[in-house]
Amino acid sequence: MAKITLTFPDGNTRAFPAGVTAAEVAQSISTSLGKKAISASVDGRHHDLQWPIEADAAIAIHTMADDAPALELIRHDLAHVMARAVQEIWPDVKVTIGPVIENGWYYDFDRKEPFTPDDLGAIEKKMREIINRRDPVTTEVWDRDRAIRYYEAQNEPYKVELVQAIPEDQQIRMYWHGHWQDLCRGPHFQHTGQLPADAFKLMKVAGAYWRGDSNRPQLQRIYGVAFRNRDDLKAYLTFLEEAEKRDHRRLGREMELFHFQEEAPGMVFWHPNGWTIYRALEDYMRRRLTAAGYKEIKTPQVVDRKLWEASGHWDKYRENMYITEIDEEHANEKRVNALKPMNCPCHVQVFNQGIKSYRDLPLRLAEFGSCHRYEAHGALHGLMRVRGFTQDDAHIFCTEDQIADECARFIGLLSTIYRDTGFAKFDIKLSTRPDVRIGTDEQWDKAEAALEKAILTVRNDYVVDPGEGAFYGPKLDFKLTDAIGREWQCGTFQADFQLPERLDATYVGQDGAKHRPVMLHRAILGSFERFLGILIENYAGKLPFWLAPRQVVVASIVSDADAYVAEVTAALTAAGVRAEADTRNEKINYKVREHSLGKVPVILAIGQREVEERTVTIRRLGETRTAVGALDQVVSDLAAEAVPPDLR
């Protein structure tokens, strides 16, 4: 029998007969490893222990102590166990697919009646029962026809389709959990008893399309989460509760920031508190952009369809555009207009006024552009996905040679703004040319290289997403990570060879001839609405002092202090601090509680003592400790704290 050589993680090698399984390898090392082994990585591929190894390879045996492999197996096997449980309870339900996802898995079923929350409990119970049966998990390699015939006989049409979709050169593997079987490439545990019966939970049911295609049947999806042990599961459930407490829709109501109502779905009604945050952010952005060489402009909301036809939006984006018509009774001519869904065509109009010289480039036109897009009902989500929003948009008109430098400047600006708003960590993704595109290969080569070079001026780690660029040019996406580890794509930088062409933007070059500028679309926050939603959730409503809508509440303890409270409040206001007086007829406990819940960063308590000594007692949000300070000192300290980061 042929021999193969396996290399272990510590560098040792050993010979085994070809076709040896990882289980046998583990067993040969030690009986205890044989028992503890759950799976193996063979040349970096994760396989189950029954997988025969036919050639020389690097091998690593995994046990439950190995986080990633253990979790993959747990979630993967639980998906099968759940499918089996469902079919044991409802034999006529058809199974489809059940992949592992972040924190768990899901499985899609074809069933007339949707699952109810009560069903989930019954399924969970059945799953525990199956786990306790400790059925062995075995695997068989079948040929294609047999698998198709089998699934046709079982009346599992989705599985037939899946088998048919498996590439010719791939094995078709069947896994058996006792008498129940599923099509799967593995890897799996050796028996279901290895699954932690107390570390998983079925979370929710939802509709999902077969193969993600909205034209195909809608299936019933059940989501589950699973971890290695009960404590990890509990920690995850606690995390979910935390995330729910941070929900900006809830905080928006509690802190009186904004509201939505039926008459304008997906459009924000900003309240004084919320609008104060918005303006603090907008003022900050305006200063940063001005300092970075941008010129701010403002362009119309309602624009004739002719421009959208010229820009190509009428063809490609009309479904998402709000179209308006002038009331025919009053209008002499009938014009069809659209609310702008994007600012770019209008910015080109500004560029096109007068004759531009190469000396004018790069020209950076910025607009806090108010846009409207008709988003599907199901897509709306608080401030995160709205129909009316304002982009921190800008378009840079430049030459191809200037792309790299402009991109580097942009990344520098973006880093500064993310740092100032509290997001130290962000990732960059470069999306390169798609199959269907415009522009020459030389242009793409140059633009892609320029973006890549620009990234390298600030950092050396980034992800390339080949083929995912827009048809009109390559792009960078910037994803920031919030306080609880969630990622949000906010910034974008896109080179565009098309729009200047379509809208005939030109400049006069050094040679006296007309040239086509490149247009760079770029945003840092994305939309103010969404970014504020992210900020609120990131800080759980406890915004940094410079962004807090009410920075200080001056609260009286006794009504004799009212006059002094007014004086303190006025002094703070004069010093540029957003301060409010609270002289209501309530106890200090009540006021402290209310303003703490309202996330006011600083409460100044004023009683008889403070009046006599001309001091204030400071209490900061989240602290129970208080400190006493002289009025003038405290006012100047708070005024310094209120200065936005770019003015410090």
Q: Which residues bind RNA (CB under 7 A)?
A: 114, 204-209, 212-214, 218, 220-221, 249, 253, 260, 262, 265-266, 313, 316-317, 342, 344, 375-382, 385, 470-471, 556-560, 585-590, 592-593, 596-597, 603, 605-610, 617, 619, 621-622, 624, 626
The sign of the CA dihedral 537, 285, 341, 437 is negative
| Active site annotation includes 391 | yes
The sign of the CA dihedral 226, 231, 232, 237 is positive
- For 226, the enclosing helix (H) or strand (E) is strand 218-226
Give me the least distance between CB of 595 and RNA, in Å please. 9
- Copy the structure tokens of residue 500: 């200047």
Of the pair 26, 561, the CB lying nearest RNA is at 561
Q: How far is Cα 86 from Cα 221, in angstroms, rounded to an integer?
A: 12
Marked catalytic residue, from 159, 188, 340, 395: 395
* CB neighbourhood size of 25 (10 A): 22
For 536, phi then psi, to 5°, come to -60, -45
Of the pair 134, 253, the CB lying nearest RNA is at 253
Of the pair 11, 622, the CB lying nearest RNA is at 622
Q: How far is Cα 372 from Cα 52, in angstroms, rounded to an integer?
A: 58
Of the pair 353, 624, the CB lying nearest RNA is at 624
CB 559 within 8 A of CB 585: yes
The closest alpha carbon to 518, from 479, 455, 475, 489, belongs to 475
CB 361 within 8 A of CB 397: yes
* CB neighbourhood size of 142 (10 A): 16
CB half-sphere exposure, 120, CA atoms < 13 A: 17
- Copy the structure tokens of residue 344: 């770019």
Of the pair 37, 430, the CB lying nearest RNA is at 430
The closest alpha carbon to 46, from 64, 29, 62, 23, belongs to 62
Q: How far is Cα 38 from Cα 58, in angstroms, rounded to an integer?
A: 17
Distance of CA 84 to the CA centre of its chain: 33
Give me the least distance between CB of 253 and RNA, in Å please. 6
Give me the least distance between CB of 393 and RNA, in Å please. 11
For 60, phi then psi, to 5°, come to -135, 125
Distances (CA, A) of 463 to 12, 310, 413, 416, 427: 34, 34, 20, 21, 8
CA angle 480, 482, 486 (to 5 degrees): 85
Marked catalytic residue, from 344, 346, 407, 490: 344
Marked catalytic residue, from 50, 391, 402, 551: 391
Give me the least distance between CB of 215 and RNA, in Å please. 9
Marked catalytic residue, from 356, 433, 475, 550: 475
Of the pair 378, 512, the CB lying nearest RNA is at 378
Of the pair 403, 603, the CB lying nearest RNA is at 603
Of the pair 195, 571, the CB lying nearest RNA is at 571
Of the pair 361, 384, the CB lying nearest RNA is at 384
CB 232 within 8 A of CB 199: yes
SS3 358: helix
| Active site annotation includes 393 | yes
Give me the least distance between CB of 207 and RNA, in Å please. 3
Give me the least distance between CB of 359 and RNA, in Å please. 29
Q: How far is Cα 551 from Cα 557, in angstroms, rounded to an integer?
A: 19
Give me the least distance between CB of 400 and RNA, in Å please. 20
Give me the least distance between CB of 407 and RNA, in Å please. 18
The closest alpha carbon to 15, from 71, 45, 59, 49, belongs to 59
Of the pair 114, 509, the CB lying nearest RNA is at 114
Q: How far is Cα 42 from Cα 56, in angstroms, rounded to an integer?
A: 10
| Active site annotation includes 475 | yes
Marked catalytic residue, from 373, 387, 522, 530: 373
Give me the least distance between CB of 580 and RNA, in Å please. 14
Give me the least distance between CB of 313 and RNA, in Å please. 5
Q: How do the residues of the chain divide into helix, strand and coil, expressed in percent and rounded to 5?
A: 40, 30, 30
Distance of CA 226 to the CA centre of its chain: 22
Marked catalytic residue, from 521, 550, 578, 591: 521
The closest alpha carbon to 478, from 496, 497, 459, belongs to 459
Mind telling me the catalytic residues? 344, 373, 391, 393, 395, 475, 521
